[in-house]
Amino acid sequence: MTARFNVVACGDDALTIRCGAGDIRHSLAQHLVGFPGWTQIVPGKIDVTVAFDPHTERHGDAKARLEAALQTVDAMPPPIARKHVLDAEFGGEAGPDLPALAARLGKAEEQIIHVLERQTLRVDMLGFTPGFSYLTGLDPALVSDRLANPRARVAAGSIGLISGQVGLYALEGPGGWPIMGRILTPLFDRARIDPFLMAPGDEVVLRRASPA
Amino acid sequence: MTLHVLSPGVQCTVQAAPRAGFRHAGVPSSGPADPVSMALANRLVSKPASAPCLEIAFGPASFRFSQAIQIAVAGATADVKAGGHAHPMHATLDIAPGDTLEIGPAQVGARFYLALAGTLQAEEFLGSASTYLPAKFGGHEGRALQKGDVLQLDAANRVPKLSTPAPLRLPPMPGYALRVVAGPDLPADAAAWGSAVYHVTPRLSRMGVEIEGKFPELGGAGMRPSSALFPGALQVTPQGRGFLLLPDGQTTGGYPHVLQVIRADRHLLGQLRPGDSVRFLLRTQAQAEVDLHAKQALLQAWLPDFRL
Instruction: Kindly report, residue by residue over B47-92, the tens digit of the pLDDT.
Output: 999 999 999 999 999 999 999 999 999 999 999 999 999 999 999 9
Nearest CA in chain A to B231: A11
What span, in angstroms and rounded, lies between the C-alpha atoms of B96 and B99?
Answer: 6
Phi-psi region of B5 (alpha: psi -120 to 50; beta: other; left: phi over 0): beta
Mean pLDDT across the stretch A145-163?
90
Burial of A77 (0-12, 13-18, 19+ CB in 10 A): exposed
B45: amino acid identity, one letter: V
Query: Rounded to a whole number, what is the distance in Å from the CA of B159 to chain A's nearest CA?
Result: 31
In degrees, rounded to 5, the angle at the alpha carbon of residue B291 between the alpha carbons of residues B288 and B294 is 150
| Domains, chain B | 2-168 (no CATH), 175-300 (2.40.100.10)
Provide the pLDDT for residue B117.
Answer: 95
Which residues of B are less than 8 Å from A154 in CB distance? Answer: none
Instruction: Kindly report, residue by residue over A53-108, the tens digit of the pLDDT.
Output: 999 999 999 999 999 999 887 777 888 889 999 999 999 999 999 999 999 999 99
Instruction: Kindly report, residue by residue over B98-127, the tens digit of the pLDDT.
Output: 999 999 899 999 999 999 999 999 999 999
Total-model pTM = 0.92
Query: Rounded to a whole number, what is the distance in Å from the CA of A109 to chain B's nearest CA?
Result: 31
Residue B73 and residue B80 in contact, taking contact as beta carbons nearer than 8 Å = yes
Alpha helices (H) along B248-284: none
Is residue B84 classed as helix, strand or coil in its secondary structure? coil
Instruction: Kindly report, residue by residue over A172-206, the tens digit of the pLDDT.
Output: 888 889 999 999 999 988 888 888 999 988 999 99
pLDDT tier at B192 (50, 70, 90 boundaries)? Answer: low
Other C-beta atoms lying within 10 Å of the C-beta of residue B102: 21
Residue A17 and residue A50 in contact, taking contact as beta carbons nearer than 8 Å = yes
Mean pLDDT across the stretch B198-225?
87
* Greatest extent of chain B over all pairs of C-alpha atoms, in Å: 62
Provide the pLDDT for residue A2.
Answer: 44
pLDDT tier at B240 (50, 70, 90 boundaries)? Answer: confident
Mean pLDDT across the stretch B253-260?
92
Mean pLDDT across the stretch B250-259?
91
Residue A40 and residue A16 in contact, taking contact as beta carbons nearer than 8 Å = no
pLDDT tier at B15 (50, 70, 90 boundaries)? Answer: very high
Question: For all residues of chain B together, what is the average pLDDT?
Answer: 93
Provide the pLDDT for residue B216.
Answer: 78
Question: For all residues of chain A together, what is the average pLDDT?
Answer: 91
Is residue A73 classed as helix, strand or coil in its secondary structure? helix
What span, in angstroms and rounded, lies between the C-alpha atoms of B68 and B66?
Answer: 7
Residue burial B31-64, b: 16+ Cβ < 10 Å; e: rest: bbbbbbbbbbbbbbbbbebbbbbbbbbbbbbbbb
Query: Rounded to a whole number, what is the distance in Å from the CA of A114 to chain B's nearest CA?
Result: 29
Residue B18 and residue B39 in contact, taking contact as beta carbons nearer than 8 Å = no
Provide the pLDDT for residue A3.
Answer: 55
**Interchain CB distance below 8 Å, B251 and A10:** no
Enclosing H/E stretch for A42: strand A40-43
**Interchain CB distance below 8 Å, A173 and B288:** no
Enclosing H/E stretch for B70: strand B69-77
Provide the pLDDT for residue B194.
Answer: 64
Q: Residues of chain B whose C-beta is under 8 A from some C-beta in A?
A: 20-27, 125-126, 132, 134-135, 137, 181-184, 225-228, 230, 232-233, 250-253, 257, 260, 262-263, 285-286, 288-289, 292-293, 296, 307-308
What span, in angstroms and rounded, lies between the C-alpha atoms of B118 and A127?
Answer: 36
A2-75: CATH architecture: 2-Layer Sandwich (3.30)
**Interchain CB distance below 8 Å, A59 and B285:** yes
What span, in angstroms and rounded, lies between the C-alpha atoms of A45 and A19?
Answer: 10
Domain boundaries of chain A, sorted by first residue? 2-75, 83-208
How many A-B residue pairs are in contact by the CB < 8 A criterion? Answer: 125
| The CATH number of the domain covering residues in A83-208 | 2.40.100.10
Provide the pLDDT for residue A174.
Answer: 83
**Interchain CB distance below 8 Å, A45 and B288:** no
Q: Indicate the angle between helix axes A98-105 and A109-118, nearest 10 degrees.
A: 100
What span, in angstroms and rounded, lies between the C-alpha atoms of A85 and A81?
Answer: 13
Most A CBs within 10 A among B24, B230, B299, hence the mutation to make, goes to: B24
pLDDT tier at B187 (50, 70, 90 boundaries)? Answer: confident
Provide the pLDDT for residue B188.
Answer: 77
Other C-beta atoms lying within 10 Å of the C-beta of residue A57: 15
**Interchain CB distance below 8 Å, A10 and B23:** no
